[in-house]
Structure 1
Amino acid sequence: METYTNGFRREITDFISVSERIQSLVARGEPLSRDEAGVVRLCATELLEKVLEPN
């Protein structure tokens, strides 16, 4: 059974939370290492390519 919070699955709320934490680091001027930045960009790109626009 899937758990929904505010209409979203747990995985989506976890993704939002992690994204906000990464954005907070960047907004505070804390640089990501080359490897960290690469992983973030790779994951974001792959996710955007695989998530289709709902009809």
Structure 2
Amino acid sequence: MQVTCPGCQSRFKLPEGVQPGARLRCSVCGTIFALPGDAEAQEQAVPAPAGASAA
């Protein structure tokens, strides 16, 4: 699983055992942030094309 630091946009690969909601500290900038609840689903989501409308 990969996460992106909200402070500096650095990307990190996490081991599978990390639970959603866990607090993480960025090793680059020191920002502390919580692992999103459904991180894998967010990573795999494909953005809708521009101009597409949600029904």
TM-score over 0.5 for the pair: no
* TM-score for the superposition, normalised by structure 1: 0.25
* TM-score for the superposition, normalised by structure 2: 0.25
Q: Which has the higher helix share?
A: 1
Q: Which has the higher strand share?
A: 2
